[in-house]
Amino acid sequence: MTDPAKVRRHAERIRELVASVVRSQIKDPRLGMITITDARITADLRDATVFYTVLGDAAEQASTAAALESAKGMLRSTVGKALGLRHSPSLTFVLDDVQDQVKQIDDLLVQARTADAEVQRLAAGARYAGEAQPYRVDDEDEDGDSADEGAADEQTPRGADRP
C-alpha cells in the first residue's frame, strides 16, 4: 500500500510540473489560455489525471485539448524524470468545467430567491384557517370565579346546601 500523503504530494508535484511545462516549453499555437487546476494520481502511481480550464469558447477548448494530446509524451517524460519513479505515470487530461457548474448553481440560487420572495409575498396576506386561538381557554366569570369553580358548585346535589 502506498502512503496517502505520498500520493497527495506526487499529485501536487505533477500539477506544478505540467503547469510549468505548458507555460514555458509547449509552443503549440492551438494551446489557448489554459490553467491547470488539479491533478490526481492513483494509489499505485501509474495513472495521473490532470484537470484544466480554458478561457474561451468550445472551439478554443477543443484546440487546447488537441494540443495537450499531442504534447502528452513530452509531458509524461518530464514528469517521470522529475518524480524519479520507476514507472512514469500515464497522463490523462480532463477539461474542468467549473465555470459551467458555477453558472448553473448561480441560476439555481436565483430561482430559489425568486421562489422565497413569492412565498413571502403570499404569506404576508395570509390568515388563519380557523380561529386565531384554536385552543379552549377557561373564561373568567363576571364575579371573578373561574369556570371550573362554577362547575364544582353544579355537582353538589340540590337541596344539600339547605339547612
Rg (CA), the chain: 37
pLDDT digits (tens, 9 = 90+) for 101-133: 889 999 999 999 999 999 999 888 777 777 777
CA distance 129 to 6: 64
pLDDT digits (tens, 9 = 90+) for 87-99: 889 999 999 887 7
Say yes or no to pLDDT of 142 above 80. no
Query: pLDDT at position 100, please?
Result: 82
Cell numbers standing for residue 19: 503547469
Cell numbers standing for residue 37: 487546476
> What is the end-to-end Cα distance of the chain in Å, rounded?
101
Cell numbers standing for residue 139: 373564561
Closest residue by Cα to residue 97 from 59, 67, 64, 52: 52
